[in-house]
Amino acid sequence: MTQHTLPPAAASYADVVDLDRYPIHDLDSERGEAFVAECRKELAEKGACNLPGFITPDAVAEMVRLANELKDKAWTSSRPHNVYFTELDKTVPAEHPLAHEVRSVKHGIANDFIPAEAPLSRLYSSDDLTRFIAAVLEKPVLFRSADPLDALQVTHMGEGDELGWHFDRSEFSITVMYQPSEEGGEFYYHPALRSDDDPNYDGITAVLQGDETGQMLLPGAPGTLAFFHGHNALHHVTPVVGATSRINTVLTYGEHPDMKLNDITSELFYGRTSA
């Protein structure tokens, strides 16, 4: 790896990350390497890696303030789907994962409404964060989203909103929690419930029927950054209870540059396309 970047005080995100605890600016040092190794170990063992207090309290507070200020810009997406986000298969029994529909409702504030100087926009645009994410995921290189709407978006979930059980289309996801709801809004997952070799329809059907065996809870305190293998871990967010919105961001990365949403997905999440 190349020697790089600025000392922490000069980094454009120095006020956003607790760099004493999480030295993403110093990955080539001994403590940086040890930190990455710990993250990899947790991700391998639990299917998720949870970094509480990653984002500083001031940066969290500013993101909550911005999210509330921009709330009326949010686009509501509420289309039912199956766990794979594929066309429902009418040839299988109704309880089969290919046919079973779940409910998801969320309100997304597109990247183009969020100021470039917002704490998370500054962090997301830094190469140090991209390098850190790639290092934990053991990728030689990763690219940030190039989508004008989807790059650094902020999601609100209000009372009654939820995300139904699903597998992510992407291999992994990275989330940043700003504000949990008072009750509900909890992220549960079943690590490695399927694999490339085994679709495990019976195991998925059991979860869809309410079986909680092997279920894990990803804690979501304000300021937490979490990695999870959402492609093989079935996961959901339970309905939000109470007047406090659950507010978070899903950070998007890919192995190719110029990554953009297709028009159908862009319309679904943001009510428009960027072209």
Ligand X SMILES: O=C(O)CCC(=O)C(=O)O
Interface residue with ligand X among 237, 240, 259, 261 (CB under 6 A) is 237
> How many C-beta neighbours within 10 Å does residue 57 have?
11
CB of 213 to ligand X, least distance (A): 21
Helix (H, G, I), strand (E, B) or coil at 124: helix
CB of 144 to ligand X, least distance (A): 17
Interface residue with Fe ion among 26, 159, 168, 186 (CB under 5 A) is 168
Single out the segment in contact with ligand X by CB under 6 A; choices: 27-35, 50-58, 63-71, 167-175.
167-175
Number of helices followed by number of strands (H, E) in the chain: 6, 13
Q: In the window 245-264, what residues touch ligand X (CB under 6 A)? A: 248, 250
Q: How far apart are CA 119 and CA 155, in angstroms?
A: 16
Single out the segment in contact with ligand X by CB under 6 A; choices: 61-69, 80-88, 91-99, 168-176.
168-176
Q: Which amino acid is at 24?
A: I
Interface residue with ligand X among 190, 194, 235, 260 (CB under 6 A) is 235
CA atoms within 13 Å, Cβ hemisphere of 58: 7
Q: How far apart are CA 79 and CA 63, in angstroms?
A: 27
Interface residue with Fe ion among 47, 164, 230, 239 (CB under 5 A) is 230
Q: Taking CB under 6 A as the rule, does residue 64 contact ligand X?
A: no
Q: How far apart are CA 178 and CA 192, in angstroms?
A: 27
